[in-house]
């Protein structure tokens, strides 16, 4: 059973958004359900700090076993940090998707967009 924490927000494409200690910045990664579906992650291709995305833009790709999948920006915003640890240890996404396996930190263009994302209950319903 996948871990879907109540304090995060989700997209239908299996990204999550987590608030950080900086109120203007959120953490983005993929959900526990998504990492389980993908299998062992072997490579994560992430953007550069400063990259600007619209909501739904492709911000990177992830390769697991033999498949490359796109990663979508859950919110419009600017990348303030990328998780360099994934270069050496991409399996962090499998082991700790909501913690050490985070992907990017994003400064959202508008805070209101966050409220439009799925709650944990809505996301759970989607993944069945």
Partner 1 sequence: MLLTERQLEWELTREPAGRSGAANMTIDASLLAEAARAGRSFVRLYRFDPPCLSLGRNEPAAAQYDRAAIARLGLDVVRRPTGGGAVWHEHEVTYAVAASIATFGGLRAAYHAIHARLAAALQTLGVATALAPDRPTARPPDRRGSCFATPVGGEVLVGGRKLIGSAQVREGRAFLQHGSILLAGSQEMIAAVSREPQAASAATTLSKELRRQVTWDEVADAVVRAWGDELTPAALYRRLPPSTALFADPFWTWRR
Q: Report CA-CA distances (Å) from 111 to 17, 34, 41, 95.
A: 12, 25, 31, 29
Assess 39 for contact with partner 1 (CB under 8 A).
Answer: yes
Kindly state the tokens that stand for 48: 């550069």
Region binding partner 1 by CB under 8 A among candidate stretches 16-24, 36-44, 78-86, 94-102? 36-44
Assess 89 for contact with partner 1 (CB under 8 A).
Answer: no
Q: Which of 2, 18, 63, 114 binds partner 1 (CB under 8 A)?
A: 63
Assess 67 for contact with partner 1 (CB under 8 A).
Answer: yes
Assess 2 for contact with partner 1 (CB under 8 A).
Answer: no
Assess 99 for contact with partner 1 (CB under 8 A).
Answer: no
Task: Give strand pairing partners of 107.
Answer: 78
How many whole angstroms separate alpha carbon 117 and alpha carbon 13? 11
Instruction: Supply the Cα-derived Rg of the chain in whole angstroms.
Output: 13
Q: Which of 1, 7, 48, 66 binds partner 1 (CB under 8 A)?
A: 66
CB atoms within 10 A of CB 99: 11
Which positions ≥6 away from 121 have C-beta within 8 Å?
none
Region binding partner 1 by CB under 8 A among candidate stretches 21-29, 41-49, 97-105, 112-120? 41-49
Provide the binding-site residues for partner 1, judged by CB under 8 A: 37-40, 42-43, 45, 63-70, 127-128
């Amino acid at each position: 059973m996948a871990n879907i924490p109540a304090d995060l927000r989700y997209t239908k494409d299996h990204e999550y958004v987590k608030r950080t200690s900086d109120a203007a910045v959120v953490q983005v990664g993929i959900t526990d359900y998504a990492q389980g579906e993908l299998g062992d992650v072997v490579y994560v291709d992430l953007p550069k700090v400063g990259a600007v995305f619209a909501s739904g833009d492709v911000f990177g790709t992830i390769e697991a076993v033999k498949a490359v999948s796109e990663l979508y920006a859950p919110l419009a915003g600017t990348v303030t940090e990328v998780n360099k640890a994934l270069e050496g240890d991409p399996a962090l996404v499998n082991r700790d998707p909501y913690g050490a396996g985070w992907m990017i930190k994003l400064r959202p263009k508008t805070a209101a967009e966050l409220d439009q994302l799925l709650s944990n209950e809505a996301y759970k319903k989607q993944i069945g």
